Structure 1
Amino acid sequence: MEDKAEIEKYIHDFILNRPHVFILGAGATIAAIPNGDRNGLKCSVMNNFLEELDLSHILSGVELKTTSTNLEDIYSELDTMSEYSSVKDELENKIIQKFSQYELPDQPTIYDYLILSLRSKDYIFTFNWDDLLIQAYNRVCHFTNDLPQLVFLHGNIGVGICGECGAIQAYRNSHCYKCDNKSLHRPKLLFPVKKKNYNLDPYISNAWNGFLEIIKNASILTVFGYSAPKTDVEAIKAMKTAFSSTFRRYDQIEIIDVKPESELLDTWDDFIQPTNYHVKTYNNLFDSFVGEFPRRSIEGYYKRLYSGWWGQSSLRLKSCNALDELKDLLSPLIQNEYKKNFNVI
């Protein structure tokens, strides 16, 4: 029989050497700008998307069979009718124009808190088209370069791809940082949900391949404002297969959403089962593991669940009025990281 110390070390290494993975849906962006962006613009979920963002006129004269107000349902039907190919193009162009207007407010948003609460071993995968996450990254990266990796599963208006060397970068760049080419293009944004062929776009294909590998190895998987729509059949099927294909008894699921807990547990049951129902639901980010243990979520999870520790973190996320205040709050953790000290404070 293995020595007890060896078993404990195995569990310790197994948990701490793996990432904290966030999956973001439209609910996360809504939480980031609940009162609108810098100019009062608000975001919307897929249901009633066109109406809420004042884009319904695009479908003027289009005869649809679906009665759904979900943008992805509408696009899926348009995709089956060649006579509406120009409408599809206009729809994507209008979405780009609309989301290009969004600007973060000056005060810290949920995206600022989230990015600064994770480290480079962690990942944020998002389904959102807006570039508010990128904007937040660009303004907090001056506090530390040890920040999570961002991946955009449905493309993003802020992502640019070089037409020459294929380097991925900010679309706002005037030229490629790698080869100086001035031809940048965005990955595709809209796919028909019932037959999402992500292989048609190299960036999206690579993003999904990486995502499905990473979620196999997450110690904590946090779903934030993503409803796992039943219409997104291919995506959900792939996620379920990847997540359930590995040993997960030591892993944790978190769900951050305003929906009732019973509804959330039912929606994500296929993901919760493999963890032996290690699941917590929250209404906001501050109550989650990164709220209690910013930049130390995996370490805090291990200490709380496997080391018999009943204490409280002395450094929690809290609402800040300015970015410099948020920087000062997390400064002790960041300073310790320079010394290779990742212990919970």
Structure 2
Amino acid sequence: MNRKEGINNVMAGGGHVVILGAGASIASTYRNSEKGGKALPSMDNFVEVVGLQDIVDGLPDKLKARNFEDLYTNIHNDNPKSHLLVEIENRIKAYFSDMQLPDEPTIYDYLVLALRSKDLIATFNWDPFLYQAFSRNYHVGSSPMLAFLHGSVIIGLCKEEGVRGHAGTKTKNGNIFQPTKLLYPIARKNYNDDEFIKSEWDLTKHMLSKDSGTVRVTIFGYGAPESDAEAVSLLNEAYGTSLEREMEQFEIIDIAPDEFLRQKWNGFIHTHHYNTTNSYFNSSLAQNPRRTSESFFHHYQPISPGEMFREPNPVPTNFKTLKELQDWHRPLIQAEESASQ
């Protein structure tokens, strides 16, 4: 199947779930920095980047930790009602809330355009980048579902109408989208305690389940930290054992070595049905945008031997404007619209 045939080959089945961690946002800003030049922190440099060092300096040594998740856990376990928890929350919101994507195409723009309405992007990140990329590409064609597993500074919930949107703005009926709770990384989270977070997890667990028809899962920059044991447990529970997912393809985008990643995600991987890469642009999302499921079916469940040879359609990496990136995807979108008629 040549490239043109691949563009016009549109299947209804299958689905792709992409799970984002801090590494995805960091990778995005490495390529195109945040509009105001703000850095994206990892859990190891979170204190310095966000500006929490004065709080840490005032803590007793027994509560201090290099990793922010461990630090927060220590403070919370010592005193769940500590005023420091409120101060930390306020500073985090202040740091992330005014972040903006640059005008140039970012990895998040590529990612949103690479998927369709049958796919899901679930993020653990508090930053607004995914929502901003979704909003500025939504008009181009069908877009993936989104889930914010730890909340986000940009996402609000209207409980009266049961809808979510940009925090602080109004619904169609004039109600305000109230900011969602940010679930900070304490060792045991109860995701059912928060209405919004529960709904985000319910969607993600369904899409990860075998019943959903999902055939690809990509982990992008999420390290599955030990302090987030409950989240990892929920992902495992939803996906099932690797023995139950003997055909699905598991993909990891991360700068860590292959052997380390293989071991960390071993419970999700069936034999050789996985791949790792340290670059988004070498992933299935960039090699076959909007056709990741079709590519899977041709490689792993071919109807005939000839179908195994499918020419990839890699998205160019050098677009200077968002319009150029969107225009490149239009033939793919037009084929999808024709197939649905």
Q: Same fold (TM over 0.5)?
A: yes
**Runs of at least 4 residues off by over 6 Å:** none
Q: Does 1:21 align with 2:46?
A: no
Partner residue, 2:107: 110
Match of 2:276 among 281, 292, 311: 281
Separation (CA, whole Å) in 1 of partners of 2:17 and 2:33: 27
Note the C-alpha offset of 1:81: 3.0
The answer to which of 283-292 and 101-110 deviates more is 283-292
Note the C-alpha offset of 1:237: 1.5
Partner residue, 2:330: 331
Deviation string 1:282-319 (CA, Å, 9 cap, x unpaired) is: 11122111211110100011112332322412x32111
**One-letter code aligned to 1:340:** A
Separation (CA, whole Å) in 1 of partners of 2:339 and 2:108: 26
Partner residue, 1:6: none
Partner residue, 1:94: 91
The higher relative CO (CA closer than 8 Å, separation ≥ 6) is in 2
Separation (CA, whole Å) in 1 of partners of 2:272 and 2:38: 39
Partner residue, 2:289: 294
Separation (CA, whole Å) in 1 of partners of 2:247 and 2:185: 36
| Distance of aligned partners of 1:336 and 1:83 in 2 relative to their CA distance in 1, 3 Å threshold | closer
Contact 2:249 2:274 in 1 (8 A): yes
Contact 2:295 2:310 in 1 (8 A): no
Q: Does 1:74 align with 2:71?
A: yes
SS at match of 2:180: coil
Q: Does 1:204 align with 2:197?
A: yes
Note the C-alpha offset of 1:137: 0.9
Separation (CA, whole Å) in 2 of partners of 1:230 and 1:148: 29
Separation (CA, whole Å) in 2 of partners of 1:16 and 1:334: 14
Match of 2:132 among 106, 111, 135: 135
The answer to which of 159-168 and 256-265 deviates more is 159-168
SS at match of 2:222: coil
Note the C-alpha offset of 1:105: 0.9
Aligned 1:34-45 pairs, distance under 5 A: 34=30, 36-45=33-42
Contact 1:106 1:322 in 2 (8 A): yes
Partner residue, 2:5: none
Contact 1:23 1:224 in 2 (8 A): yes
Q: Please, which runs of 5 or more residues in structure 1 have no aligned partner?
A: 1-14
**One-letter code aligned to 1:169:** G
Match of 1:266 among 257, 263, 266: 263
Match of 1:318 among 313, 316, 319: 316
Q: How many pairs are equivalent?
A: 321
Contact 2:44 2:67 in 1 (8 A): yes
**One-letter code aligned to 1:101:** D
SS at match of 2:25: helix
**One-letter code aligned to 2:201:** W
Match of 1:188 among 172, 181, 188: 181
The answer to which of 20-29 and 281-290 deviates more is 281-290
Contact 1:64 1:77 in 2 (8 A): no
Contact 2:50 2:91 in 1 (8 A): no
Separation (CA, whole Å) in 2 of partners of 1:70 and 1:180: 42
Note the C-alpha offset of 1:86: 1.3
Note the C-alpha offset of 1:257: 0.6
| Distance of aligned partners of 1:341 and 1:293 in 2 relative to their CA distance in 1, 3 Å threshold | farther
Separation (CA, whole Å) in 2 of partners of 1:204 and 1:52: 26
Identity of aligned residues (%): 37
Contact 1:125 1:153 in 2 (8 A): yes
Deviation string 1:251-274 (CA, Å, 9 cap, x unpaired) is: 0000001111111111101111xx
Alignment TM-score, normalising by the size of structure 1: 0.87
Match of 1:154 among 150, 160, 184: 150
Separation (CA, whole Å) in 1 of partners of 2:80 and 2:135: 41
Separation (CA, whole Å) in 1 of partners of 2:98 and 2:61: 29
